[in-house]
Amino acid sequence: MVFSSVPFLFMFLPLALAVYYVLPRRFQNLFILISALFFYAWGEPKYIVVMLFSIQIDYFAGIMMWKYDRNDKVRKIALLVSVIMNIALLGLFKYGIFVTDNLNALGIFGTDLSYPIFKIGSFEIPIRALPPIGMSFFTFQSMSYTIDLYKRKIEVQKNPITFAAFVTLFPQLVAGPIVRYSDIAAELENRKISLSMTYDGIMLFITGMGKKVLIANNIGALWSQVKLMELGELSVLTAWLGIIAFTFQIYFDFSGYSDMAIGLGKMLGFNFPQNFNYPYISKDISEFWRRWHMTLGNWFKSYVYFPLGGSRKGLRRTVFNLAVVWLLTGIWHGASWNFIVWGCFYGLIIIAEKAFLGKFIVKLPGFIRSGYVMLLVILGWVLFDTANLPTAFGYMGVMFGIGGNGVLFDNVSHYALLNYSVILLLCVFACTNLWRRVYDRLYPKIPVFFNYGGVLYQAVIFVFVIAYLVDAGYNPFLYFNF
């Protein structure tokens, strides 16, 4: 879709920002809403109805909780309507085909189940179609409002325009970070746009574009080539190089979009939460998931893990709670057995670290701990981005010398090393915090160099991004699919 490409995003933003800055404050939330709907409708016009329906449910659920503040029964019913309707919509559009196909395959009902149709009046959307882009993100974002309102952690939002603007904030509408209402409640009502905040936003936005366009797209080309090959054609080294390329691609793609969204949020006067914190330098898997897609992890902690009891009710209950969270995490990412197994894979590792493995890991040298994390993460990405479970397990087999073309390396791996060695080294450097440590140490000594050099550096990135986009066509973000 044109909508899900970097060039469209880049063309859309300058005009939207220019209009936003000249509008009176009282019209800015309305403009955010209109811009978001236009942005979303460019490639998914029919699904605006679904998003607006979800917004309407949560807005009126919030109003009912506020109006009947002293009636716990009504408040609970309003919450249940919000949660059940949101999960039902998400389940219908994102998982309807998956569930139906599996029931048909099992033959439980003796006949093929037909695919449902979502209907409002005369408006129909066949569920056979692809699910709405970013539905998991805006559904979780909207649900956080009603849950927090029920817990009396936030105040009700009576203005429907302001509430809809919160749910549809176009910088992070389709790929996060997941922003809770409490994160930006004050800024929705009263925000100030300063020059320093706008400058920081522009710098962060350009950094994100550089990550996506210059790094993710280029290293991703290697994985695209390897993924098209038959398993029997792969050498051991080719298999490793391919999935390592995806390991870097998904990080720079997703963290790049998060940087762009957070940077654009700053330009609009919002402070969105951080979403990545150098996850590939983690020393155990639990730490990795505290650093990767942080807003999703925090959402599940706040609304699933802690309400179930967290780790406060003994080891057995902790194991159960973690199993539920990681099963849901896998399901959240997509309607596929690969994602479900991927979530269970991480759940088992984290349960093992909690129960007994963690006490041994902390005694190991740092480089072994880092190797342990990266090995498991790389294997996890095989599950995440292969066509099905047999392909995923077959690919893992090739990585360890089982299957494939029976050789350690071949002309394909030799070609890949020659053509991608520089970008691979750049990926290794850029995904660590080494550059940040160098910056923090040298900045106090030569601040002028870093101030002016930083602007020049970002300008160079910007020029290269533009040059790349002029020559490129389709540049989708990977996490738009979720």
Residue with tokens 């109006």: 67
Could you tell me the CA-to-CA distances from 449 to 195, 207, 255 in Å, in that order? Answer: 21, 19, 27
350, 286 contact by CB (below 8 A): yes
* Helix and strand totals (H; E) in the chain: 21, 2
Please tell me the distance from the alpha carbon of residue 178 to that of residue 152, in angstroms, as a whole number.
Answer: 20
Q: Give the tokens for residue 72.
A: 């716990």
**Residue 343 φ/ψ, nearest 5 degrees:** -65, -45
Whether residue 177 is preceded by a cis peptide bond, meaning omega within 30 degrees of 0, is: yes
Residues 6+ apart with CB under 8 A from 324: 304, 308
Assess contact for 260 and 208: CB atoms under 8 A: yes
- Residue 39, pLDDT score: 77
pLDDT given for residue 248 in this prediction:
96
Q: Is residue 55 helix, strand or coil? A: helix
Alpha helices in 273-355 (DSSP H): 285-291, 294-300, 315-333, 337-352
Contact 52, 132 (CB under 8 A): no
- C-alpha torsion sign, points 17, 140, 272, 257: negative
Helices (H), 23-130: 25-41, 48-67, 72-90, 96-106
First to last CA, the chain: 15
Amino acid at residue number 118: F
Reading the chain (482 residues) residue by residue, the pLDDT tens digits are 434 445 555 566 777 788 888 888 889 999 989 888 887 777 667 778 888 888 999 999 999 999 999 999 999 999 999 999 999 888 888 887 787 777 777 776 655 666 666 555 555 655 555 667 778 888 888 899 999 999 999 999 999 999 999 988 877 776 668 899 999 999 998 888 888 898 889 989 999 999 998 999 999 999 999 999 999 999 999 999 999 999 999 999 999 999 999 999 999 999 999 999 999 999 999 999 999 999 999 999 999 999 999 888 888 999 999 999 999 999 998 888 999 999 999 999 999 999 899 899 999 999 999 999 999 999 999 999 998 999 999 999 999 999 888 899 999 999 999 999 999 999 999 998 887 777 677 666 666 655 666 677 778 787 778 777 766 654 556 655 55
DSSP character for 213?
I
> Alpha-carbon torsion 53, 55, 61, 63, what sign?
negative
- Secondary structure (3-state) at 125: strand
CA-wise closest residue to 274 among 259, 287, 252? 259
Confidence at residue 435, expressed as pLDDT on a 0 to 100 scale = 74
Q: How many Å is the maximal CA-CA distance in the chain?
A: 75
Q: Is the pTM of this model over 0.85?
A: yes
- What confidence score (pLDDT) does residue 109 get? 61
* Sign of the four-CA dihedral 59, 49, 92, 1: negative
**Structural domain boundaries of the chain?**
6-190, 197-283+362-471
pLDDT for 480 equals 55
Q: Which tokens go with 181?
A: 């209402």
- Provide φ and ψ at 118, rounded to 5°: -80, 125
CA dist 29 → 126, 169, 175, 176 (Å): 32, 9, 20, 19
Give yes or no: 333 in active site. Answer: yes
Instruction: Please pick, among 96, 243, 333, 423, the residue that the annotation labels catalytic.
Output: 333
Please answer whether residues 277 and 259 qualify as being in contact, where contact means their C-beta atoms are separated by less than 8 angstroms. no
